Structure 1
Amino acid sequence: MVAGPGRGRLPGPRLSRVTVLGAGSIGCFVGGCWQAAGLDVSFIGRPSFDRDIADHGLTLSDYSGWAASLPPDRVDYRTRPDTLASADIIALCVKSGATADAAREIATNGRPGTTVISFQNGISNVDVLERLLGDRFTVVRGMVPYNVAYLGDGRFHKGVAGVLYAEDCPETRSLAAAIGQSPAALKLSDDMLGIAWGKLLINLNNAVNALSGRTLIEQLRERDYRRVVAACQREGLRLLRRAGIEPAKVGAVGPGLLPWVIGSPNWLFRNIFMKSWKIDARARSSMADDLAAGRKTEVDYINGELVKLADRLGIRAPVNGRIVELIRNAEGGAPPLAPAALRAAVLGN
């Protein structure tokens, strides 16, 4: 459900400044689009991005051909949390494993009353933020449905269609209105937990893409890879039904149909479904980017969320559990798996 009534919070202070905390590929693209739309944005992130942006500025593009550029002297990118104290909105884009550290940084440097929007993968980040930030900050669940690739020299490319989501409340209404029409436009919902679970079911492809070593289009063309994704999704749907959780529709296909669509024969998938999805030829999953960069992945917050849910229900999640094991092997240097090899490793047939 979109544009619902919200929680009835009292309006916060007038929106005047946004700080993107964890400004990597997603954060730079989103914050850069918001600045291009006229918002006052600052960025906090890694020294490597700081150097590149200081030299080249921000260049933003997407699959449709849209592009925008911000010169270096217009981009306020820092490696220290200096601008948290002046932020009205903090867009949190750190990797899920860094959520607790980011919350402590916000608690120490942020201004009480600031709205923190979690644009992170997984389900449990908001719980961590609410526990550590308490009543001093307004924590809002958000969702990013697309991948952004860093092309070097300050260039960030959105390779997949979609708009951002956030919980409907006075602060996000002001933010959405200020952003307007943009490749990083913001859609509001009063069912963000359902949307988060719906997104997680789609994100189960991330690990398969990472294990394949291929672009998204190359990986999705192979039915054996898609069969593994479909098995992860079917297992996830069974767990959610057992837990009484209803995932929301995210994108063109509802949750119940996802495994059928993903696992369909090549002639049907390639000629019908894939043609309707806007995926850039360069697009890869964020998990694939993490493996390529030698970083720890977010598998614990995607497939691992289902493993944890199964544990709470007193049952097993063998398919998603096996994917977590294989990603751990890949983090340790194991090579990519061919389609039939991955199918055999996960499904045993």
Structure 2
Amino acid sequence: MAQASAPKDNRPHIVIAGAGSIGCFVGGLLIRGAHRVTLLMRERMADEILRQGLTITDFNELDEELSPDVFGIATTPECLKTADIILVTVKSSATEKMAQEIRAHAPTYAVVISLQNGVGNAEILQNNLPDHDVRAGMVPFNVVSKGGGCFHRGTSGDIIIAKGKNHIARMLSVPDLHFQDRADMAPVQWGKLLINLNNALNALSGLTLREQLSSMPWRRLMSDQMAEAVRVLEKAGISAETPMSRRIPIRFVPKILRLPSPVFKRVARTMLTIDPLARSSMWEDLEKGRLTEIEELQGLIVTLAQEKGDKAPINMRVASLIRDAEKSGRGSPQLLPHEIHV
């Protein structure tokens, strides 16, 4: 008697290219939403998840355990051969290498979406993948690894991707993970970069994000750093919009940070939800002895200022302190605001 063949899986194949904290969390929710997903990741991470499974949690009491039997895990790029959608989540410094692997292995019909920090990664991908549909993306929330295959989302927000064919944002949206599309991604990405400047301050402080935002001295420093960067972008003719709320112009955010604490808390609550234990990904990088993305954040602001004959002393100082912390390998230096401000 002939044995019936297994039914073909006609679902689009989504590959998370460079699955770290963001990639595992996003991938986990897509898996939970019945998508066909493969996590392309480092061998150490793959071993951890194969042993302990993938757990995703968040500030809103999400707690989901996913067995490795229901998704793919890969440590080599051959899995890209059957990809329909590739979500790139590597650090900015690894974008070029990942683009080369996509070019070597993925079919040209695969849609490539950058879910990375910084503003230049989609351009790097497109330059290396001229035959692909490459789209910029912006992830507003932060995710940290809690170890044991568990990844925790500490802040809120919807992922935004560039608008294109086939309603990709609608297709990817699942419970607890919503995608929006936008025709012009550049202002969104620059706005996210301005918000992400606090990643470094949070890493230098050693505090949780909630503790940091509850402190007026820290908020003053955040405000001054952002106001300096906004001035640099304006001088460079670059538009930015607030990623949490389009109703609030980005130039008002430094002023909001300087509001009295009771007023600030009320305003901030309408823009963002923050888990009590949330910290920035840069804090996690320092704690684990990894290189950060400081060059794509404060480093970029300093470079832009210099190109326009201007200076950005606060951003320069913060970048220098993060580089020192990277070299020391001792985690967060747990500085106070007055030890950073210039």
Q: TM-score, normalised by structure 2?
A: 0.91
Instruction: Name 2:276's counterpart in structure 1.
Output: 281
Preserved CA contact (<8 Å) 2:31 2:70: no
Preserved CA contact (<8 Å) 2:170 2:180: no
Deviation digits for residues 116-168 of structure 1 (CA, Å, limit 9, x no counterpart)? 111010111122212222x2222100000011121222211111111111001
CA shift for structure 1 position 15: 7.1
Preserved CA contact (<8 Å) 2:204 2:322: yes
Structure 1 segment 167-246 matched on structure 2, within 5 A: 167-171=162-166, 173=167, 175-246=168-239
Preserved CA contact (<8 Å) 1:225 1:343: no
Distance in 2, Cα, partners of 1:343 & 1:261: 20
Instruction: Name 1:266's counterpart in structure 2.
Output: 261
Identity %: 37
Preserved CA contact (<8 Å) 1:163 1:183: no
Question: Which residue type is aligned with residue 159 of structure 2?
Answer: L
Instruction: Name 1:250's counterpart in structure 2.
Output: 243
Instruction: Name 2:154's counterpart in structure 1.
Output: 159
CA shift for structure 1 position 19: 0.3
1:73 to 2:66 alignment: no
Deviation digits for residues 286-331 of structure 1 (CA, Å, limit 9, x no counterpart)? 1111001100000111111211221322322221111110100111
Instruction: Name 1:113's counterpart in structure 2.
Output: 109
Preserved CA contact (<8 Å) 1:57 1:75: no
Instruction: Name 2:141's counterpart in structure 1.
Output: 146
Preserved CA contact (<8 Å) 1:39 1:178: no
Instruction: Name 1:338's counterpart in structure 2.
Output: 335
Distance in 2, Cα, partners of 1:297 & 1:124: 16
Instruction: Name 1:3's counterpart in structure 2.
Output: none
Of residues 320, 324, 328, the one that matches 2:319 is 324
Deviation digits for residues 52-74 of structure 1 (CA, Å, limit 9, x no counterpart)? 21012212122111233221211
Q: Secondary structure at the match of 1:68?
A: strand
Structure 2: gaps (5+ residues) = 1-9
Of residues 115, 121, 124, the one that matches 1:125 is 121
Deviation digits for residues 146-200 of structure 1 (CA, Å, limit 9, x no counterpart)? 11121222211111111111001114x1x32223342222111112111001111
Preserved CA contact (<8 Å) 1:227 1:343: no
Preserved CA contact (<8 Å) 2:11 2:35: no
Preserved CA contact (<8 Å) 2:318 2:340: no
Deviation digits for residues 208-230 of structure 1 (CA, Å, limit 9, x no counterpart)? 00000111112222222222211
Q: Secondary structure at the match of 1:332?
A: helix
Higher relative contact order (CA 8 A, sep 6+): 1
Q: Secondary structure at the match of 2:69?
A: helix
Q: TM-score, normalised by structure 1?
A: 0.89
Distance in 1, Cα, partners of 2:241 & 2:175: 24
1:26 to 2:19 alignment: no
Aligned length: 328
Of residues 132, 138, 144, the one that matches 1:137 is 132
CA shift for structure 1 position 275: 4.2
Distance in 2, Cα, partners of 1:176 & 1:123: 20
Distance in 2, Cα, partners of 1:55 & 1:95: 25
Distance in 2, Cα, partners of 1:182 & 1:242: 41
Distance in 2, Cα, partners of 1:186 & 1:84: 22
Q: Secondary structure at the match of 1:156?
A: strand
Q: Secondary structure at the match of 2:341?
A: helix
Instruction: Name 2:3's counterpart in structure 1.
Output: none
Question: Which residue type is aligned with residue 249 of structure 1?
Answer: T
Of residues 91, 94, 105, the one that matches 2:90 is 94
Preserved CA contact (<8 Å) 1:307 1:316: yes
